Amino acid sequence: MLEKVAVIGAGSWGTTLADLLAKKGHQVTLWAYEPELVVTMRETRENNLFLPGITLQESLAFTNDLEEAYRGCTMVLCVVPSQLVRRVITNSLPFIPKEAVIISASKGIEVDTLATVSEIYQQILPPEMYANFAALSGPSFAREVAQEMPTAVAAAAATEAIARRVQEAFNTNFFRVYRNSDVVGVELGGAIKNVIAIAAGISDGLGFGSNTRAALITRGLAEMTRLGLAMGAQPATFAGLAGMGDLVLTCTGDLSRNRSVGIQIGQGRSLDEILGEMRMVAEGVKTTESAYNLAKKLGVEMPIIDQMYQMLYQNKPAREAVLELMTRNLKAEGA
Ligand SMILES: NC(=O)C1=CN([C@@H]2O[C@H](COP(=O)(O)OP(=O)(O)OC[C@H]3O[C@@H](n4cnc5c(N)ncnc54)[C@H](O)[C@@H]3O)[C@@H](O)[C@H]2O)C=CC1
Ligand SMILES: O=C(CO)COP(=O)(O)O
């Protein structure tokens, strides 16, 4: 079935997915926040700000007008940074057709409310529209997908019918989509891995090696799973693409913005200085604060998240944080 898709957010991931959908023959309109980017993309078929060097499909339409983006669409894909989802979806609500499938590909937890991305949608959309919600997540650097490198992701929805519709719309011979029914687990995996990726980058920046990174990935997975269980997620989700898969990718891949922020912190630069030079989003910075507060609220033990919060928000030196993690009370591994 061919869809008419409104893709909201022309960052690197929104642009890549819009291009992928257009390659499949769907009718796609990509909404960009920056008016000048719309002009450039129309003229050059390139997103010079967020995805330079990739030529976009001729059939892809671009707009800066939300009403125009949503007109007649059967599917919505929203890919704005998670702290902007509430504003963008609230502004969008009058224009989204009631029957449309609504997919989120944002990875994060809202700082002010501690809401997951699906909870934000649930709070804004009427129940009959939220019934058509799905979350798309998993190990997928935009540039590699844009270059058609084999990639596998998860699409989670409350009903199998919606998950199948998303799977069918996005799946290609280089982008394999697995169905999942655990929306909370899939989105928590995508949110928490960004914080652990900053930690892994800090470890690299401090000059530590593979042992330290493997420890962070594995114990980060344990923390993510504990939080997930407290929020009703399925444990198996964290062993899958949106959990371990994305954690491994982001903690090891050179394309990760979160890991790159961590490397620079480990090398001694200040967070303000690093973020001041970035136009792209490193979701893990804000998610560190939300995850820290969410863990406290739910009484979940997340020692790496604790130390990350103290490093990023309370100026704790990285080596001190590492020492504190290494000298905690001795535990049994499964505890
Ligand atoms: N880039 C990637 O490889 C992947 C990104 N994601 C997730 O996708 C989401 C979007 O990230 P990217 O596409 O990477 O973005 P990006 O970092 O490439 O670009 C930033 C985006 O924020 C938008 N923006 C800035 N201010 C805005 C405002 N006031 N209102 C609306 N939009 C505004 C920009 O227009 C642009 O679309 C994030 O949650 C990210 O974690 C998920 C998977 C892969
Ligand atoms: O989510 C991603 C890959 O799955 C992108 O990671 P970064 O945001 O760290 O670049």
Q: Tens digits of per-residue pLDDT, 280-295?
A: 999 999 999 999 999 9
Q: What is the mean pLDDT of residues 245-256?
A: 98
Binding residues for substrate are 107, 257-258
CA-closest candidate to residue 314, choices 282, 332, 278, 288: 288
Please give the CATH number for the structural domain made up of 4-181.
3.40.50.720
Exposure pattern of 172-196 as b/e (b: 16+ CB <10 Å)? Answer: eeebebbebebbbbbbbbbbbbbbb
**Per-residue pLDDT at 17 exceeds 80:** yes
- The pLDDT, as a whole number, for residue 334 is 86
- Beta strands of 124-231 (E only): which ranges? 133-137, 151-157, 175-180
Q: Is the CB of 12 under 6 A from ligand 1?
A: yes
Cα-flanking dihedrals φ and ψ of residue 78, to 5°? -105, 125
Q: Is the pLDDT of residue 230 over 90?
A: yes
pLDDT beyond 80 at 335:
no
Q: Whose CA is nearest to atom 10 of ligand 2?
A: 256
The pTM of the whole model exceeds 0.90 = yes
Task: State which ligand 2 atom lies nearest to the alpha carbon of 139.
Answer: 4
ipTM of the prediction = 0.99
Mean pLDDT over residues 261-282, rounded? Answer: 97
Task: Find the radius of gyration of the CA atoms of the chain.
Answer: 19
- 31 CA to middle of ligand 1, Å? 12
* Centre of ligand 2 from the C-alpha of residue 94, in Å: 31
Ligand 1: distance of its center to the CA of 135 in Å? 15
pLDDT tens sequence across 118-137: 999 999 999 999 999 999 99
CATH of span 190-326: 1.10.1040.10
Could you tell me if the CB of 108 is within 6 A of ligand 1? yes
316 is catalytic: no
**pLDDT single digits (tens) 64-74:** 999 999 999 99
pLDDT band at 307 (very low <50, low <70, confident <90, very high): very high
Catalytic-labelled residue, pool 4, 193, 286, 297: 193
What Cα–Cα distance (Å) separates residue 112 from each residue in 55, 79, 82, 291, 326? 38, 20, 12, 11, 31
Residue 314, amino acid: Q
Residue 118 class from Cβ within 10 Å (0-12 exposed, 13-18 middle, 19+ buried)? buried
- For the chain, the structural domain boundaries read 4-181, 190-326
| Mean pLDDT in residue range 253-257 | 98
The answer on pLDDT for 258 being more than 90 is yes
Ligand 1, atom 17: closest residue by C-alpha: 280
Which residue, judged by its Cα, is nearest atom 30 of ligand 1?
A: 33
